Structure 1
């Protein structure tokens, strides 16, 4: 992969921030967008902006073809069996809430168990807390190893015949840990439970094959994978989606409406009430085209190399702690002794370096780490070793600055 050629496709990277070249290390929060995605959105709004499915005029047909064509691109990208199994949503959060509200509430009761982990993003904790309260089910947590990884023996011990749902992120947005989803799914299925996967941090960076993983539901967001904000997708096995009820009602998702009763469209449209996110889906399709052209294996290898290089360079800084296992995705979360992460991020920003600081929507994990917040550098296909060097120099500068302040 030629990183310099890749970088040329991202207009936002070619600017200065606070008088310095932008070093963008916050892709786990949201990725930047290549020109192909920007142009796809512009083309839709300039040339064939229209609603989908309902109209027979030319613009409506073009918009429908673009929207449904994007669904096929998503299906192929994650290797789903059918486009009926691809539901467009606003993102991972909406997708997980759909599963919890539709499948969870209908299939859980007193004495049943939901199993997740302490490393989950709030979007994969709060929906299950709410479902547990509503149904009387119990929410259980798979314990983490000392480095934040998951041991399958702990999964075996936590998942029981009473477990009905197991929901785990494939890649941690804090620790960078890559969880053994295929093996966890096998354990869940052995006990008759369904497997839900938060793929927000994995889908942008590695090949996803939902059939190989044998997960029952898989959720991800477009904006983390070079696509627009406000669009994502939920994959669900058809046999499960067929038996689930919609949670949004109105136009687009209905078949027949009477004065007292209504019926729903077939999959996938019964879950897509209202005017769908047409431009977002088309932009997501363009992002998938771009990522496939670069190559998902090449992207993963590049980020792995950057993560190793970053941890090696950052470990040279005395008083800097890196969280998570050695084997990880392109995320390095850290703290500097006696310096608040927000102060770290502020000093780095003065040099044009963008990192994330806070609890990263993972407060239970922060408590497990015994910290209130951390700083996080996250890498994507457009980052370079020079970006890492800039980060390290900025961290040394930060440490020296606050050392002088408190000396």
Structure 2
């Protein structure tokens, strides 16, 4: 397999690779590199536009408020949300997961109710729901995975009962890179009017087109740094049906309409969920990234990504010592174990060879411990990943075998 010219051209929009032309960066599921248009927008904002939003009435602040809300509309259209008010800015997917869990607990859950969380969940979701269940005496039930590392929909069906209030699952599993049967799960949940669906899209957003209305989920969230836009910003989609019944998660400026000595009246959504001064620069950076991506041949790049993943898996399968965790539906990442080796040792030696991967439990200990208590090695791709980087990884693995 040879890297196409259009991939090389796409990669040139990321200054990290200009400074590090020999980089073998295969840790994109942890974070992607930021594109030049996003960097330019951050610099432009802090150099020439810096003023807060939604507060002051002077020209710079008003212009920023208008632009800030225009980006909210842009993201709503990009996700095919019903209204721009369905889009809530957070500091990242972790804060979004916490916001959803706490808001749903206050609005919908009582002692004895049940929340189903899949075995595949990131700690940001899994631990949050676990701790709330312990504190408020509702029951946490775990949806298992099948032999393909996919949420077992049949077993999920068996878990749903009259006490079920929320079903939480990821679009693509952080620890394995396996795309989950999210369409079937959302359809299943939607058939129960009293159950709410929450989808973690952090690992899907850079690889799969997302249409939240078509998906039929009630909540969907992701981090901007997973899709070339830099850190410090999360996007949370909240459906209108559920949003109207929620109360704020945090308190502070902007999220209130009026405050007296004895009571406070809260602002309308989405502002009631955005306490404090937002990360304006990162919102603008996300907008610049979306504009940049709109100019790219995304279908072609995603096809290349899929072919590169198939190439990677085929190369890994040549080693009998390697066990790949999952068998199909890999999206952006794949995890494996090397027989008799601890994952951390593999990662350390690969790093010394100039190959960047993620090793360990991947913030998904319940799942990874069921796979391999020594952790796994995760290789993750992006549209700018070169075939040469995969070849460098494979050559490094060959050297590991010689070392054995």
**TM-score, normalized by the shorter chain, greater than 0.5:** yes
RMSD: 1.5
Q: Equivalent of 1:217, from 216, 219, 231? A: 219
SS in 1 for 2:68: helix
- Tell me which residue corresponds to 1:166: 167
Range moving further from structure 2, 122-131 or 288-297: 288-297
**What 5-or-longer segments of structure 2 have no aligned partner?**
none
- Tell me which residue corresponds to 2:40: 39
**Whole-angstrom CA distance in 1 between matches of 2:340 and 2:296:** 41
Shift of 1:295: 4.4
Q: Equivalent of 1:4, from 2, 8, 18? A: 8
**Residue correspondence of structure 1 range 205-284 to structure 2 within 5 A:** 205-284=207-286
Aligned residues: 399
- Tell me which residue corresponds to 1:102: 103
Range moving further from structure 2, 301-310 or 212-221: 301-310
- Tell me which residue corresponds to 1:298: 300
**What 5-or-longer segments of structure 1 have no aligned partner?**
none
Q: TM-score, normalised by structure 1?
A: 0.94
Shift of 1:302: 2.1
- Tell me which residue corresponds to 1:195: 197
**Whole-angstrom CA distance in 2 between matches of 1:47 and 1:170:** 38
**Whole-angstrom CA distance in 1 between matches of 2:160 and 2:133:** 16
SS in 2 for 1:195: strand
Q: TM-score, normalised by structure 2?
A: 0.95
Shift of 1:128: 0.8
| Preserved CA contact (<8 Å) 1:155 1:187 | no
**Whole-angstrom CA distance in 1 between matches of 2:153 and 2:195:** 16
**Whole-angstrom CA distance in 2 between matches of 1:227 and 1:345:** 26
SS in 2 for 1:234: strand
**Whole-angstrom CA distance in 2 between matches of 1:290 and 1:115:** 38
**Whole-angstrom CA distance in 1 between matches of 2:347 and 2:258:** 54
SS in 1 for 2:226: coil
- Tell me which residue corresponds to 1:157: 158
- Tell me which residue corresponds to 1:354: 356
**Whole-angstrom CA distance in 2 between matches of 1:266 and 1:360:** 37
**Whole-angstrom CA distance in 2 between matches of 1:228 and 1:123:** 19
- Tell me which residue corresponds to 1:180: 181
SS in 2 for 1:335: strand
**Whole-angstrom CA distance in 1 between matches of 2:36 and 2:304:** 21
| Preserved CA contact (<8 Å) 1:197 1:215 | yes
Change (3 A) 1:299 1:65: farther
| Preserved CA contact (<8 Å) 2:90 2:233 | yes
1:273-316 Cα shifts (integer Å, max 9, x gaps): 11111111111111222223224433432221111100001111
